[in-house]
Structure formats: structure tokens, C-alpha cells
Chain A
Amino acid sequence: MTDVQAFRTGDTPLPDIVILTHKLTRDYDMGGEVVRALRGVSLQIRKNEYVAVMGPSGSGKSTLMNLIGCLDTPTAGEYWLNGQKVSALSDDELARIRNKEIGFVFQTFNLLPRANALHNVELPLIYAGLPTKDRRARAARALARVGLADRMDHRPNELSGGQRQRVAIARALVNEPSILLADEPTGNLDSTTSAELMQVFQDLHHQGQTIVMVTHEHDIAAHAARVVTLRDGLVATDQLRAA
């Protein structure tokens, strides 16, 4: 366990804690049978940490990911994001949190196929309500940061896998979120491209970005500074690695 103060119900997290989950549980009702995907996960992640979440399939890492990403709400327990208790928020407020605080990077990239790179990166800014001119400028800057300044008007099917994932990263970062949430980001990439992507993550981490990455590959997890392993809906191990 990392050396943070133990959290009890009724407390408020310390200011440098970006993510705090307290006895987080999530049950699914599968046709009358209750599946307990998470059975009480308590985690604290500080600003600028680089955390890998590992575990075999069915261990609950996807469920945890969805909860942290505010795509889902817990059955019980608390989730605090940046000092705000998210587990009690409404649908619209969760949408706002996803928009401002969280940048997703998915295994399958999840880019809009009919839109070009620039428009894909613009999307979060549209929902943030930015005027067109600002949006364009910021999206272009984000694409330049991931080295795709000359690919802005290409559609996803005109880009390589690595380039697509970089568009996704540009999109994830364009709203300057508190956390970058990556779900098997190298799952659809070859080893060379994976290594490049890990370098991008490393750079972002050095620039101060908080990253949470779900993976089942040990050599990918090895890039993270901290590895949390889940098993049967509970935290099994939580280790800091030598940077």
C-alpha cells in the first residue's frame, strides 16, 4: 500500500489526491443472478502518478475503469475525483465530468470514422461549448503535440494504427483533463508502435499528466510507476516500482 492516510466515510480527500475510491462495489443483475464485479475497492491516486491496473479477465478491472471514467455509477461506496464526490452526481453532471476531467484512450481507438482527425479532436470542445475558432486552434495544437500536424484532414481509415491512437490521445488531452484513462491502449498495436505509444505516455507523465492505464500485458504495465492488481473484484497487490 502507498503511504497515504487511511480514508473513512465522512472524510474529505487530501488536496493532492486526484482519485479516491472507498469501498467501491458494483453489482450487475444478470437475469436474476447478481454478479459482484467489484467487492469493495479502496484506492488513492495522487496527482501525476502513472498507474497500471492489471488482473485476469473477470477481475473487475473494466468495471473499475468505467467507474473511474464516470461512465457508470457504483452500487455502493464512494468515489471522489479532484475533491468532488462523483458517486452522487446526476447524469448531466457526470457528462460534464467526463468532458472536463477525464480523457479516454480506448483499445479500439473509438474515433468517429466519418470525421477527420481535426474534427475528432474537436469533439470534446464542442460539448464543452467552445466557439468554433477556439476549438479549431486548440484541436490543431493538440494534434501537433502528438506529431500529427500534417494529418489533420485525414480520416481514421487513412491513418495507421499508431497514428489513430495518437489522434485518440490528442482528443483525450484537448480539454486538459485531470486524468488520462487508457483501456488496453496497445491492444490493437504491434510491438514497435506500442513502444512508441509508451514513450508518448512516458513524456506526458513527465509533463505532469496523471495516467491510469488498464492492461493485461506485463511489459506494458512495466512502464508505469505503480501497478495495482485486481483479483475477484478486490485489490490484490499495489506496488510502487523504482522509477
Chain B
Amino acid sequence: MPFLEAVRLALQTIRAQKLKSGFSAIGVFIGVTFLIGAWSIVNGMNRYMTDKFAGTLVGVNTFHLRRRPNVNFNVEDSVWRAWRRRPRIKFADADAVTQGLRMPVVTAWYSEDRGSVEYNGKVAKDITLEGATERYFDIMNLKIADGRAFTPQESKAGTTVVVLGYDLAQKLFPGVNPIGRTVRIHGIPYRVIGVVERQGNLLGISLDKFVVAPALSPIQREVNPPGVVDALIVKANSELEMRDAMDQTEAIMRSRRHLRPRQDDNFVMETSEGVLDFWKKLSRILYVVGPGLVGVALVVGGIVIMNIMLMAVAERTREIGIRKSLGARRRDILRQFLAESAALATVGATLGIGTGIALSLLLKVATPLPAAVSPFSILLGVVVGGGVGIVAGVYPASRASRLDPIAALRQE
């Protein structure tokens, strides 16, 4: 019997026994759904982490000189306490580093805290209040949608001007142009000079609820003690120059703080790579655990198919006898049953792929979790699904093919 004939026969049998076929395909279906779904989540997270998360928090070719890491996961109490005892980054530190670096870099001061912003009796709460110098916008790639950013003069003078995040502008000035109007932050008036382009969100948290004012303006009082910044942000032209800049910064800071050679740094230089380290550790675990779970599901699916096929062979013993009496060779019967189990598994896998894709699209739309279906996982789903079917079908099919035609024909 030619291959196509076997496949056609298999599909016929599946169509004739929809319920039973449905049950036997369900194992592979679940396995493949999970494979596609889990893979797309890990894949999406991966892309998200590398493209957006690290880039948004830290920036490309950029490092932040801070007292302690800003992005940290699962830190022990003792470490945390040690971090809190460290001296803060002072204006003078930031200036010394900026002047001491011998390669072309762009730097900005940065401090932040949470607070509320008021306009005309309307109050927006839980807004990120940011004090920064003028190059902050370039370094963090914040584009001005409307108006302008503050000038070096305004920055140096500590003028009470402010640039709004998109969401905040929408909230305080619905249908009104905010440029030129005055908002109040803890009672102090600031003139709105610009609105930043919409940034979207990061893991469900809006990135557009902030104000930026010059670091030397009265906003300093809201975000840090006098003379202190959260971070000095340094952006170099290349990764190589960034590494050099980090080495020089370390040297400058160590000498300013009179650290002995055996003492550890009491400050950190955070890069996007550092943020990614954590994610890499996590994704490595996911890449091991995910396939393991998928494997278990597929093995179960395979066993279900094998069982169903053994039942099918027992049930259709007479059919096998008839086929043999009409000239079917062992390999014809073998091929028929193999094709059937492979087709069952492939049908399950195909449905699984469809559901998996639908599931990850749903996740993408309904949750902040980024999901991206990888074409490789689809290919893998088909191959693995069909393979499970063939492997599970070998034993039942070979049993069928070895049936004695006389005994098989006698079966009721």
C-alpha cells in the first residue's frame, strides 16, 4: 500500500471515530500547546528584557554611578544593611567624575522620589518626581513631543521649569495645551515647558507618570538631602569606551573616598548588562524546566496514543484478518497503523500549535507579559508531535502486522 493511501486511510479512520481520536490526540495536544505557549513566553520575555527593560532602566552604552544597585532581585538583609551604610553620591563626586573622565562622554545628574503634582485644584498622586540635568533627556532617549527640554542655563540656575510625562500631561491637562501653564509640586510653582513622547509601559507599569525639573531647582528638596544625587549617569560612545570610563570612574571614586586597595568599592556602577544578568539566570532555569514539563506531557500523550492504538488493534483484529486475506502484507498493516497513530499525533500537534499561538496572543493582549511565538517552536511542535505518534505506534502496529490471518478472521 503506498504511503499516501495509508495516510488517507488513517484520516478516514480518525474521521469515523471522532470521539476516540479526540481523546487520544489530547495528550499530544496539551504537550504541544504548552510547548508553544511556554516557549513564546520565555522567548517574549527574553526579547523584552534585552530590548526594553534593560535599555529603559539603564540605557545603551550607559552606566549609573550609584550608592547601591537600583535594579536588584532577592537581596539578603545583611547586604541591604551594608548598602544603606554606604556614603551617598555628592554633587562634588559627580563633578569630579565628570571632569576627570578623559574620553568623550555625556553625563547627567539624576535623583528621584514619589510625590504629587497639582494643577488648578487637580492633584495627580504617585508621580515620579525627577531632578536631573539637561543632558538627561538625550541619554535616556526621551523625545520631546511638545515644547522643549530645559536649557543648560536653566539647569545651572535651577529655574523652576518642568517637563511632563505623557500620562501626567493627559491627566492634568485634558484637552488643554499644558505649555506655559503652572503646576505646583508641594506648593512650589513650576512653569511647564515641555511634554515627553509616550513611552508605554514596562511589565504593566506606566512609564509616563513623571515630571523632570532641573536638579538644582527646589525639586532637590523633594528627592534628596542637600548636595546629594541618586546617580550620575554616564553615556559613552561605545561599549569599549564605557568600560574605560567605568575604570576611570572607579579610580576617581576610590581615591575621593580614600579606600585602601583591599577595601571593596562602596559604590556601584550599574550597566544594562548587570540588569540582564539576573534575567539570564532566570531564563536558563526556564529553558531547562520548560522542556522538561513539555517532555512529561508528551510522554503521557504518547502512552495514551499507544493505549488507544492497542485497543484499536484488538478491536479491529477481524479487519486486519480481512485485509490480510485480500493480500495485505505485514508491512502494509504496519504502515496502516503507524500512519494512523502518527496522524492522530499530528492532528493533536496541529491543534496544539493553533491553541498555543492563540494562547500567547491572548497573553500578549490581556497581560503585561510579553509573548512572541517563535517559528522554531512550531517546527519543533510538529516534529515532536508526529514523532511521539510514530514511536507510540510502533509496538501496536507491529503487533497488528504479526497477527495470524486465520485467527484474526475467526475473531468476532
Given contacts A110-B318, A112-B319, A114-B16, contact A127 B327 (CB under 8 A): yes
Q: Which B residues touch A114, using CB under 8 A? A: 12-13, 16
Measured between beta carbons, the chain A residues less than 8 angstroms from B405 are 71
User: Which of A92, A99, A100, A175 touches B330 (beta carbons < 8 Å)?
Assistant: A92
B406:A127 contact, CB within 8 angstroms: no
State whether B326 touches A124 (Cβ < 8 A). yes
- Find B409's partner among A95, A99, A110, A171 (CB 8 Å cutoff): A110
Is the beta-carbon distance between A96 and B327 smaller than 8 angstroms? yes
A38 to B405, CA, bound (A): 19
Give the nearest-CB partner of B323 in chain A: A123
User: Does B406 lie within 8 Å of A91, measured CB to CB?
Assistant: no
Complex interface: chain B residues within 8 A of A171 (CB): 326
Cβ contacts under 8 Å, A91 to chain B: 329-330
Minimum CB–CB distance from A113 to chain B (whole Å) comes to: 8
How close is B309's CB to chain A, nearest CB, in angstroms?
17
Partner of A124, one of B13, B16, B327: B327
Interface residues of B in 299-341 (CB under 8 A from A): 318-319, 321-332
Tally of chain B residues near chain A (CB < 8 A): 23
Residue-wise, chain A 44-76 has the 8 Å CB interface mask toward B (1 for contact) of 000000000000000000000010010110000
The reply to whether B1 and A126 form a contact with Cβ atoms under 8 Å apart is: yes
Q: A96-B327, A98-B325, A104-B325 are in contact. List 12 more A-B contacts (CB 8 A).
A: A72-B406, A95-B324, A96-B329, A106-B409, A110-B321, A111-B322, A112-B322, A123-B322, A124-B327, A127-B332, A171-B326, A175-B327
Q: Closest CB-CB distance, A177 to chain B, in whole Å?
A: 10
10 A-B residue pairs with CB within 8 Å: A95-B332, A98-B326, A100-B327, A106-B409, A124-B326, A126-B5, A127-B1, A127-B326, A127-B329, A127-B332
Q: Is A128 an interface residue (CB 8 A)?
A: yes
Q: Find the residue from A95, A100, A104, A114 having the highest chain B CB count within 10 A.
A: A95
* Chain B nearest Cβ from A153, distance in angstroms: 14
**B326 to chain A: which residues have CB within 8 Å?**
98-99, 104, 123-124, 127, 171
Q: Check: B225 CB closer than 8 A to any chain A CB.
A: no
Asked if residues A71 and B319 are in contact (CB atoms below 8 Å), the reply is no
Q: Does A31 contact B (CB under 8 A)?
A: no
Q: Using Cβ atoms and an 8 Å threshold, which residues of chain B touch A104?
A: 325-326
Taken together as a complex, chains A and B put the C-alpha atoms of A187 and B321 apart, in Å, by 20
Given contacts A71-B405, A72-B406, contact A95 B329 (CB under 8 A): yes
| A129 interface hit (Cβ, 8 Å) | yes
Residues in chain A near residue B327, CB distance under 8 A: 95-96, 98-100, 124, 127-128, 175
Q: Which residues of B contact A99 (CB under 8 A)?
A: 326-327
Assess whether A71 is in contact with B406, with CB atoms less than 8 Å apart. Answer: yes
Point out the residues of chain A lying under 8 angstroms from B409, CB to CB: 71, 106, 110
Question: In whole angstroms, what is the CA distance A171 to B318 when docked?
Answer: 17
Knowing A66-B406, A72-B406, A91-B330 touch, does A129 contact B2 (C-beta < 8 A)? yes
What is the CB-to-nearest-CB distance from A150 to chain B, in angstroms, rounded to a whole number?
A: 23
